[in-house]
Chain A
């Protein structure tokens, strides 16, 4: 007790633990109160379990029929009752990863700016503005995306991308060379063990890779598509990543930063050596948490991704994500179609819970070490 008075209002967690448990509650009302609260809190676990069980039950017909083929099938054809979810898994994973690629440097940069550089009035304002990005409803992002970002991408950004990075460009040629260098050894290994790719030459491989990398930024400029969806996602997850990174950066003891400065480091060297270096796993946790947020995002993605069930290496082309296919088709679905959509929902749930657990575990471990 004395310690907390000296140190201020913050109470150490050690102190909270010595609070008497329910056994010592002598009043009958206290027991009732405690039991009501316990029931309500445990409802969280019950809800979580119920979500799992119901989704499993509803998707059972589809999962039982297609088995693992549900996740590896590339054909999604409701009239023929053929359901493979790979195009959507591909769309979700690729758009989220692209979003992370854009959002992570920006968010970490903002967090560094806010914790290390910005003067106090600027700090609170910028922090508020970044957090406002998290408060804007997803459907507003979608609306803005459809009417502002999509036309902008179509007329200004995508034609340039196609011109400079598209088929026949230096970028495509370089990417093809790089990919060939990466892939060809594996093809050789496959050939040595006679698994596959019999008689493939280096020539053939590089042609194949050329074809592949020509597609990455291939046209036409639709406006909608994976890249546009990723950009919106990047804006949406920036506040998540930056607020966690900020907490991590703020927990670096000022002695460490002062030590770096005292040794003659410039401010950037101080940031690099004593802030970033000691926060690597915290940053990783923040980025994974952002990934988790991106995976489950529905409305904005549905409105700008283009809704086409294809697997293509083209990032300018329309695609479909797991959440968007549910949003688009759930109302008209029935029978096996509905069951398959719930199956996609279940996979989405499992993926995002896994990603979030990993993120939280990483962050939690960092916090524990810091203490």
Chain B
């Protein structure tokens, strides 16, 4: 933009204001992403020194002893997230199909609203709910209770992403299937879902990444232990809870382990997110 000749003082002030405001917007963008770099760099800096093969294969050592790992927590997290996903993914996808494929006016709107509300229930409240449903009747902390909490957190997320993704499928694809005389369920399961497979996968992966990091609902459902998974009715450790316990301890070695645990957790989440982006991008460029 070339300055126009003969502009008054007011114009100069306007342009100064423009430069200042736009400059501060750039600065704000920098401020917003800065914490990510701080967190990432510290997690890597503190976590990498203890990252070795033992970390994934060894059980934790008592406070003060060198060595040991978080095999119990990693295995526990796998079980908790695995069981939650086993039920949560089909459950959530089914609800998502209903929201997207059957438009029933008010009911769908109400369902969608409740699903949205369910995603905004604080995770600690879900923990209390799982405690009331599973822990209190069984009178013991258990992996089952932890999985149940994660399952409840997972289904509304999967349902809403499934709905959004299925909506992207062009309507004429469904019509083509129906016109060939296929029953609706076959159209949905054989044509619509496979067509959206990569989108669905990424949605599901994001939900898994999200529940892998949940700590609050596991504190008083799955609880923790030092020896790994011993059945669904026994308490089990998980990576986030172990990080929390170690971070709140006074033991220097445990604290160092907490950073390594955080590194593993962050890497999982980061990779899933990055992978999701790449898949989404390749898909959108294809269509």
Contacts and interface: CB of A to CB of B under 8 A. Distances in A.
Contacts of A189: none
B183 A143 contact: no
A113 interface: yes
B9 interface: no
Given A110-B28, A132-B270, A269-B18, A138 B213 contact: yes
A366 to B, nearest CB: 16
Interface stretch (B49-57, B196-204, B255-263): B255-263
Interface in B4-33: 14-15, 17-18, 21-22, 24-26, 28-29, 31-33
Nearest to A46: B114
A84 to B, nearest CB: 20
Contact of B28 (A106, A132, A266): A106
A266 B185 CA distance: 56
A331 B219 contact: yes
A369 B110 CA distance: 20
11 contacts: A36-B94, A45-B111, A51-B126, A109-B29, A136-B269, A266-B18, A267-B22, A292-B120, A298-B216, A330-B219, A360-B113
A109 B24 contact: yes
Given A54-B132, A146-B247, A352-B122, A299 B172 contact: no
B97 A143 contact: no
Contact of A296 (B36, B102, B124, B188): B124
Interface string A86-109: 000000000000000000011101
Interface stretch (B37-45, B61-69, B225-233): B37-45
A30 interface: yes
Nearest to B155: A44
A176 interface: no
A27 interface: yes
Interface residues of B, number: 93
A45 B133 CA distance: 16
A113 B216 contact: no
Contacts of B171: 1, 4, 11, 15-16
A126 interface: yes
B240 interface: yes
Contact of A25 (B133, B175, B184): B184
Given A135-B273, A148-B38, A357-B117, A298 B31 contact: no
A141 B259 CA distance: 11
Interface stretch (A201-209, A309-317, A341-349): A341-349
A254 to B, nearest CB: 19
A295 B122 contact: yes
Given A48-B117, A113-B26, A139-B243, A349 B125 contact: yes
